[in-house]
């Protein structure tokens, strides 16, 4: 996607929409502790791989798995 460039508009959209959905969901559940933890964990699992420090890092893949590039 986008020839491997980071922080292009097409890559920013999923990140921003995830954050907006998180804020809306948090407001809707009125910051209930159980749902808040689940939503925060979900948000972090989506956003952390998008950070520049994780660029090119493949997680949850075994060493025998063929990765398509």
Model pLDDT for residues 16-62, shown as the tens digit of each residue: 999 999 999 999 998 899 999 999 999 999 888 888 777 677 766 55
> Are 39 and 32 contacting, i.e. CB atoms less than 8 angstroms apart?
no
Per-residue confidence (pLDDT) for residue 12, from 0 to 100: 85
Name the pTM for this structure.
0.70
Two tokens at 36? 């808040």
> Are 59 and 49 contacting, i.e. CB atoms less than 8 angstroms apart?
yes
User: DSSP code of 55?
Assistant: T
């Amino acid at each position: 996607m986008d020839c491997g460039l980071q922080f292009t508009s097409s890559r920013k959209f999923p990140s921003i929409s995830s954050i907006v959905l998180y804020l809306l969901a948090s407001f809707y559940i009125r910051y209930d502790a159980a749902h808040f933890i689940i939503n925060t964990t979900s948000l972090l699992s989506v956003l952390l791989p998008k950070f520049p420090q994780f660029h090119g890092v493949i997680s949850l893949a075994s060493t025998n798995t063929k990765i398509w590039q």
